[in-house]
Amino acid sequence: MAAALQHIDIHPRVAEALAAGRAVVALESTIITHGMPWPQNNEMAMEVESLITQEGAVPATIAVIDGRLKIGLSASEREELAQRKDAMKLSRADLAFAISQGRTGGTTVAATMIGAHLAGIPVFATGGIGGVHRGAEKSFDISSDLEELARTPVIVVSAGPKAILDIPKTLEVLETRGVPVVAYGTATMPAFWSRESPCPAPLRLDSPEAIAEFQKTRAALGIPGGMLIANPVPRQMEIPSAEMEAYIARAEADAAAAGIGGKAVTPFLLGRILELTGGRSLKTNIELVKNNARLAARIAVALAS
Ligand code: PSU
Ligand code: MN
């Protein structure tokens, strides 16, 4: 931590809350730089921060700006980041690269977990985690988000793995790596834009307090790593999976035809699905992130008390 501090700027509001032992929720920024178009990305980030504040916690959006690892952004920093064309998409492999090169980038779930843990923030809200891509048996495309969940003790609140992924394989990898997957208030694994996937949830809990207690118990037993909370999107905003599947298949085919690979896959698919659904997928994405932020704040409050 001491060595890390030379590269980190903790926003005063966040530093104060951490020093006082108050609830803080980390937020990622790849969703801002690569997950949603301007200006909805900035509006989403702003709304999510104010929801967390309303729940009695302090939001800390994490990003790399001009070589500094930012824990908490000012409104102008966030707005500028949301419009930057040169932002990298940063994960465990290249977080330090961007810092050492003075670059700017959005942090993925994996990189945000690293930043949150360095700052002492135990909970983080996102939309959907990365995971095992469809066809991974050929492409080997498995998000480093899964590896990070196995290593770094941060609770990640999501709406499940993104539905563009192979959800059964993603759950298998998480189980192998010892990552608890907890569905919130349901026995079925949610699937990002949809409340239900075909998979049963590995674990279920029904309150923020129970989630906080579970993570405290893991820590007490010396079991390392984070956990994944899968919080279903609100019913009135969901797009049922039967409907999403056609759009996902089409977007996958377009990605293959365009030769999209590596880090570009997830942003391409999200962007293409936005077009195919006439913007509906974006509206749902925004609502599910807000829903996750609210739950993350409640977990943070439960952990802090
Ligand atoms: N949730 C969203 N939109 C996003 C992401 C999450 O609603 O764009 C981002 C997260 O930063 C996650 C990344 O870590 O997508 C996964 O990218 P990949 O599949 O390349 O690992
Ligand atoms: Mn990938």
Residues 6+ apart with CB under 8 A from 200: 187, 188, 189
- pTM (2 d.p.): 0.98
In order of 83, 131, 165, 248, the CA distances from 134 in angstroms are: 30, 9, 5, 11
pLDDT digits (tens, 9 = 90+) for 99-125: 999 999 999 999 999 999 999 999 999
Residue 2: predicted pLDDT: 79
- Provide the CATH topology of domain 1-121: Indigoidine synthase fold (3.40.1790)
* Atom number in ligand 1 closest to CA 29: 11
Average pLDDT of the residues in 247-267: 97
Domain 126-305 is found in CATH 3.30.565.10:
no
Whole-number Å distance, alpha carbon 145 to ligand 2 midpoint, is: 9
Residues 6+ apart with CB under 8 A from 294: 51, 52, 55
Query: What does the alpha-carbon distance between residue 42 and residue 132 come to, in Å, rounded to a whole number?
Result: 28
Same fold across 1-121 and 126-305: yes
Closest by CA to 26, choosing from 1, 44, 48, is 48
Query: What does the alpha-carbon distance between residue 233 and residue 192 come to, in Å, rounded to a whole number?
Result: 7
> Is the per-residue pLDDT at 19 higher than 80?
yes
Nearest ligand, measured from the Cα of 105:
1
Residue 87: predicted pLDDT: 98
Query: What does the alpha-carbon distance between residue 297 and residue 183 come to, in Å, rounded to a whole number?
Result: 17
Task: Concatenate the DSSP letters of all residues of 160-194 into one string.
Answer: SB-TTB-HHHHHHHHHHTT--EEEES-SB--BTTB
Q: How confident is the model at residue 205 (pLDDT cuts 50, 70, 90)?
A: very high
Task: Concatenate the DSSP letters of all residues of 214-253 into one string.
Answer: HHHHHHHTT--S-EEEE-PPPGGG---HHHHHHHHHHHHH
Q: What residues are annotated to the active site?
A: 28, 162
pLDDT digits (tens, 9 = 90+) for 139-178: 999 999 999 999 999 999 999 999 999 999 999 999 999 9
Annotated domain spans of the chain = 1-121, 126-305
In order of 1, 85, 277, the CA distances from 44 in angstroms are: 31, 18, 19
Q: Are 183 and 274 in contact (CB under 8 A)?
A: no
Pocket (CB within 6 angstroms of ligand 1): 28, 30-31, 34-35, 108-109, 126-128, 130, 143, 145, 263, 266, 270, 285, 289
Reported as half-sphere exposure (CB side, CA atoms, 13 A), residue 217 has a value of 7
**φ, ψ dihedrals at 264, nearest 5°:** -80, -15
Using a pLDDT cut of 70, give the percent of the chain over it.
Answer: 100
